[in-house]
Amino acid sequence: MIFVLALTILAYNLYHWIWPDLRHSLLDKADLAFTFNAPVEERGPLAYGNHEDRKLYIYRSEDAPEDGLLPVLMFFHGGGWDSGDPSQYGFIGRNFAPKGFVVVNAGYRLVPEGKYPAMLADGAAALKWTSENIRKYGGDPDRIYLMGHSAGAYNAVMLGLDRRWTRRLGLPDDTIDGVIGLAGPYDFLPLDNDNEEDAFGEARSLAATQPVRFARRNAPPMLLATGFQDETVDRENSKALYDALAAKGARARHAVFNDMGHNGILMTLAQPFGNDRYGDTRVKDAVIEFLQERVHEAARERVRAERRAREARALRDETREAADEGAAAQASGDIQPTGG
């Protein structure tokens, strides 16, 4: 009995000692075992700044048409703002690129260098790099959607709501076309754990760090998903932000998965856990449905914009032709000038 207890304590301590480094890569390794032959091209690391954490990876299906641009899904990883690397989340690219997206996994500075607002400044810089360069990789800079898990969900949602960071870099307010937050913290005052204290404890205004404070009517459409059994980030975070957005008249969707925890909501985006035949596809289906709705909406708006542009050109041409005909008639003497 004593031996079993000692072994249990040892295993527990080893687990928590190696877990911060392994938790980000184990899921990716598991997925890779099932998707190693997937026709997805990976490019990276590509630097978007002068810090080693300011890097990104790009994924595109090899079966994607060469003559068109695909919508872009930009993913920010979790890890409590003090761990994680975009290279450890290749499963996002391998599972969403075949769905018709160019996927960008973006890193950002981690604590201690990554204290608030560094993670948002980096996220905005990664977004700017993507909007300026993604066309070279087959992505459409006019259709960029953000997604993140846990701390990364905070980054993605905050970039969508607090426009200070994108405006500082000269990005248009409509650069972000939609946001997906998975198990993210959006309303977490007072700070009650070491991760939050380390990342936000030195902020001049703690209220200004909270996404819920920036809810607005014209926010990008949002999908806020959480697990009912999440014991890491209280599920009420998603509910609070959804309620704040709904009160403003913003377009938001709230999804709660009853038998999922904090990591489970991410696991089902990887293989074999999210396999279409025998896995749990609920989260992936919700994400894909949300993205496809936004893509179709953008296509409809593009058609409307092109129609309005054609109509405006036609009206200008008609006005010009009428003016030219009038001038020609007056010059020929068919129309006498009035007066005198």
Nearest to 98 by CA among 303, 289, 311, 288: 288
Which residues have C-beta within 8 Å of that of residue 304, sequence separation ≥ 6?
Answer: none
Nearest to 107 by CA among 131, 134, 132, 127: 127
| pLDDT tier at 153, thresholds 50, 70, 90 | very high
Domain ranges for the chain, please list them.
24-306
What fold does the segment set 24-306 form as a domain? Rossmann fold (3.40.50)
Examine the pLDDT at 16 and tell me if it is beyond 60. no
| 178-223 pLDDT tens trace | 999 999 999 999 999 999 999 999 999 999 999 999 999 999 999 9
Q: Report d(CA 278, CA 273) in Å as an integer.
A: 8
> What is the pLDDT, as a whole number, of residue 336?
59
Is residue 324 helix, strand or coil?
A: helix
- Global confidence as pTM: 0.86
| 268-312 pLDDT tens trace | 999 999 998 999 999 999 999 999 999 999 888 777 766 777 777
Q: Report d(CA 179, CA 153) in Å as an integer.
A: 9
Answer whether the bond into residue 117 is a cis peptide, omega within 30°. yes
- Interval 135-159 mean pLDDT: 98
